């Protein structure tokens, strides 16, 4: 099986990651480079590992997390489906089994909350990992544009962790925010992403809980 490290060292994927991150920097977006990809890769694979999924799924989730944003090299709009189309021949050329490649492009093609649909464990883990990434370290160069609500929200988040609570059948995201932004502003930006996390967690047989500054936000 192709490893995450081999994917990270693939020159074509590295070029696409770099181009997509540079493009989003020009648009004024937060980090979508190795820092974001590393978080998503690690979080997605950890979710499936802690839920007891097979190692194949764990590794595919890690790879999907690393490559999920390559479509930004084409355009921000529909970057999920664009990335899936780009990736399929690249993954096959890298020696990946065709079934593993299909699993990854389905997850990548469906990770956008605007149009994505969770249909596998890998796609569910990818969605939760991607949508949960909010933190001050995503602000480029540590210098937020305080007129930009995305920068304000991310810069306000001092701590962020995703916890798999198997006993309670819950995947819990815990955030600590300072006064740079507010819970209301966070929700105004992230609501559609939170809903996708809830749907993804349900696919995994879990409940998604969002806790901000010690308070459960989405209580059933």
pLDDT of 162-189, one tens digit each?
Answer: 999 999 999 999 999 999 999 999 999 9
Mean pLDDT of 89-105: 98
Instruction: Provide the Cα torsion 33, 34, 37, 40; round to 10°.
Output: -130
Q: In sequence order, what DSSP letters do the residues of 127-169 get, joined into one string?
A: HHHHHT---GGGSGGG---TTSHHHHHHHHEEEEEEEEEGGGT
End-to-end CA distance of the chain: 41
Backbone phi and psi for residue 158, each to the nearest 5 degrees, phi listed first: -85, -30
Please give the average per-residue pLDDT across 75-99, as a whole number.
Answer: 98
Angle, nearest 10°, between helix axes 11-27 and 55-67? 50
Q: What is the mean pLDDT of the chain?
A: 97
220 pLDDT higher than 90: no
Question: If you average pLDDT over residues 191-220, what whole number do you get?
Answer: 95
Whether residue 41 contacts residue 67, with contact meaning beta carbons closer than 8 Å, is answered with: no
Is residue 166 exposed (0-12), middle (13-18) or buried (19+ Cβ within 10 Å)? exposed
3-class secondary-structure state, position 91: helix
Left, alpha or beta for 95 (phi > 0: left; psi -120 to 50: alpha)? Answer: left
How many whole angstroms separate alpha carbon 123 and alpha carbon 103?
Answer: 8
């Amino acid at each position: 099986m192709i490893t995450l490290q081999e994917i990270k060292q693939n020159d074509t994927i590295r070029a696409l990651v770099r181009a997509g991150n540079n493009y989003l920097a020009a648009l004024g977006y937060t980090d979508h480079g190795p820092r974001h990809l590393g978080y998503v890769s690690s979080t997605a694979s950890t979710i499936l590992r802690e839920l007891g999924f097979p190692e194949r799924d764990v590794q595919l989730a890690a790879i999907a997390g690393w490559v999920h944003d390559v479509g930004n090299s084409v355009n921000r709009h529909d970057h999920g489906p664009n990335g899936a189309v780009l990736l399929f021949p690249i993954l096959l050329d890298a020696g990946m089994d065709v079934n593993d490649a299909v699993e990854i492009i389905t997850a990548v093609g469906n990770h956008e909350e605007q149009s994505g649909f969770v249909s596998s464990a890998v796609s569910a883990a990818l969605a939760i990992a991607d949508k949960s990434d909010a933190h001050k370290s995503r602000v480029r160069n540590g210098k937020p544009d305080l007129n930009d609500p995305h920068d304000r929200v991310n810069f306000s988040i001092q701590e962020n962790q995703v916890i798999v609570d198997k006993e309670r059948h819950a995947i819990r995201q815990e955030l600590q925010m300072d006064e740079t932004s507010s819970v209301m502003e966070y929700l105004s930006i992230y609501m559609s992403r939170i809903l996708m996390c809830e749907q993804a967690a349900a696919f995994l047989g879990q409940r998604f809980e969002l806790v901000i500054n010690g308070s459960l936000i989405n209580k059933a």
